[in-house]
Amino acid sequence: MKRFEYIDDLIEILEDSFVYEILKQFNDEWILEIEDITDFVDAQRNNAISSLNELVVPAESVLFLKNQSLQKRLGIL
């Protein structure tokens, strides 16, 4: 299968899915700015190699969804 055929098939599948709506909303509404962070990444690479004390990483936490309908829709229940 040629690459463009695969992409066309994927687009057709996604267009009829919840995922497509989320991706479309993400693209159209949620992205506010795209910024080149190359210099930051280069600095963090150096920090990761030399001194983890200077490494800047985001804080992460688990998101617990209480809504079972949403859990089913997202495929996590």
| Contact indicator for 57, 46 with CB cutoff of 8 Å | no
pLDDT of residue 45: 93
Any alpha helices (H) in the chain, and if so which ranges?
3-15, 18-25, 38-50, 68-74
Counting the structural domains of the chain, the total is 1
- 33: containing domain: 3-74
Q: What are the tens digits of pLDDT across the range 20-42?
A: 788 888 889 988 899 999 999 99
Q: Is the pTM of this model over 0.75?
A: no
